[in-house]
Each structure stands twice: as structure tokens, then as C-alpha cells.
Amino acid sequence: MLQRRKQKMFNREYYIHSIPVFVFGETEPLVDIPLFCYQVEQMLPRTALTNVEVCYISDNPELDGRNAAYNDGAIYMKLDEPTNDDMIENFVHEVAHAVETTDPYSIYDERLQTEFLGKRRKLYHLLQAEGYNQVPLVRYEMMEYNKMFDDFLANVVGYPTLLSLTMGLFCSPYGATSIQEYFANGFEKFFTENPGYVKSVSPVLYQKVVAALNDDK
């Protein structure tokens, strides 16, 4: 009688600027992890990772439906990202959430709130014109994350529609989700795409990213 063959677990350790990256699970990653670590090192200065102590990449992270998360010095990521670019974007985005913990009051001051709320109100009118009138204006003026509003943008409007409506308004549609995601999304695009684009679309946000990076030096 043939014995059931156990699936082989693997556990590997890499580094990004001396920060340990633990990769473990039952399935081989689709991406090139050593290349991912090298690319992130070339992209992000070590000072941007001041609040990151470790990164865990696994095939069963407790992310509650998210692709990645930052919590208490650790970044958690899924193992099954399809490309290195996807993994890099997720990592840089979570680094932004780590950066904001240093001085959130300086980042989320009146200037950034004014810029964000102006864009949210414009989005409200754009969606109203397209017939998406399920959410009142007062909800657009609440800057903190709200699952109902997130579901509305993602599942009722949909990101393809949001992409066309928010071009030049947000760095990408996800930046409309909350003021924290507005900052993290701009931080991500600053490094993964074009700082000049972030500056042209959201000048105050651009200044906050630059200031946050300089404060870490």
C-alpha cells in the first residue's frame, strides 16, 4: 500500500537592507524573491525602512482579503503574487504605512486634508454625473477608511470605471479610499513610477512624501 506523500515545506531567508525577509509555505513562489529583494534595495533608501523590522512572505498570511499589510514593525505579504512588479508595489505601499507611523500629525495636517477632500468632492460630482448616487456627499467628506465606501468604489463603481474618471485626479483609483491610502498610494507611485507625476497630480502629497523621507535621514 502506497503511503500518502507529504507536501514539502520550504523556509528561506533573504534580506532587504539588512532587514530579514522570511519566505515560507507549501508552494514555490511565482516571483523571483532574490530579484525582488535586490530591486527593492535599488528603489528604496535604507532610511525609508526605519520602522520596518521584518518581512514575512507566506502562502497563508492572515490578511483579511488584502494583498499585504503592515503591523507593529512587520510587513506581511502573499506568496502567490503573479509578478515581481506586483510584489514590489505591495511592499512599497506597506513601507508607506510604516513611514506614516513616525509622525502622522505632520503628514495628515490641514494642507493634506484640504487637498484630499477637494479631490473627494470632485469625485462625488463625477460619479453623480455617471449615475452613481448611492452614497451621499457626507460620506465622501469622511477621510478615514470605511469598508462600505471601499466596497462601493471597488464593487459598485469598479476600478476600471474609477481609473477613467480619476485620471489626473488621484495617482491611482485606490488613493481615493481614505486619506491614509491617499498618502500610501502616492508614496508607492513616487518610487515605482514617476515622482514628477505625483507632484503634478497631488503637489501637497508629493511634498509630504519628500518631507517624510528627509525626516528619516
Q: What is the pLDDT of residues 153-173, one digit of tens each?
A: 999 999 999 999 999 999 999
Neighbouring residues of 163: CB distance < 8 A, sequence distance ≥ 6: 172, 173
pLDDT score at 216? 54
CB neighbour burial string for 70-94, b if at least 16 within 10 angstroms, e if fewer: beeeebbbbbebeebebbbbbbbbb
Reading the block at residue 124, the C-alpha cell is 462625488
Question: Which pLDDT does position 67 carry in this prediction?
Answer: 87
**Which top CATH class is 10-100?**
mainly alpha
Residue 132 three-state SS: coil
CB 132 within 8 A of CB 123: no
Q: What is the pLDDT of residue 62?
A: 75
What SS3 class is residue 58?
Answer: strand
Determine the number of helices (DSSP H) and then strands (DSSP E) in the chain: 10, 5
Range(s) for CATH 1.10.390.10 in the chain? 10-100
* Cα gap 80→63, rounded to integer Å: 13
pLDDT in tens, 196-206: 999 999 999 99
User: What is residue 20's three-state secondary structure?
Assistant: strand
- Those residues of the chain that have pLDDT short of 70 are 1-8, 61, 216-217
